Copies of this chain bind each other. A is one copy, B any other.
Amino acid sequence: MDDFDLEQFVPFRLNRAAEFIALRFAAAYKAEYGLTRPEWRTLAALGSSGRMTATEVGVHSTMHKTKVSRAVFALEERRWLKRTQHEDDRRVEHLELTAAGIKAYRELTRLARAYSAELENLLGSDGLKALSSGLTAVENAMVKRRR
């Protein structure tokens, strides 16, 4: 009928692939820990970088500040995270994982590494390399276009 094919359209394919890959991993932390994606991302950001502000978490994990705010609240309720006020600027709060949070982080990253390995298996070494370098290209473009 026409020469446009949704199946070949990169934005569509990218979305579908992301859903497939991410959902498969999300199922793990959702089922086992009841975490949402923003929560997992926040945990991961704080776990690997140590103390950060909410804004920094947002930048690091590319999440909107309302998502971060809600995730921080949830993690705090779970006693995986604690806040401390910045000395000089009382608008800012520093976020840090508690011992329990660090423990959870370790377990989750173990899962994440296992999934990375599974992914290499699933996509093949070449497939994964191609994907990764394609993603790098996107990331470079994102930096250029960032407002």
Chain A, interface size category, equals 35 or more
Alpha-carbon separation in the docked complex, A124 to B140 (Å): 10
A10 contacts B21, CB within 8 Å? Answer: yes
A44 to chain B, nearest CB (A): 4
Question: Chain copies in the assembly?
Answer: 2
A62 contacts B141, CB within 8 Å? Answer: no
Asked if A20 is an interface residue, CB under 8 A from chain B, the answer is yes
Alpha-carbon separation in the docked complex, A145 to B21 (Å): 11
In the complex, chain A residues 1-29 whose Cβ is within 8 Å of any chain B Cβ: 1-2, 4-7, 9-22, 24-25
B134 contacts A49, CB within 8 Å? Answer: no
In the complex, chain A residues 102-147 whose Cβ is within 8 Å of any chain B Cβ: 105-106, 109, 112-113, 115-116, 119, 122-124, 126-142, 144-145
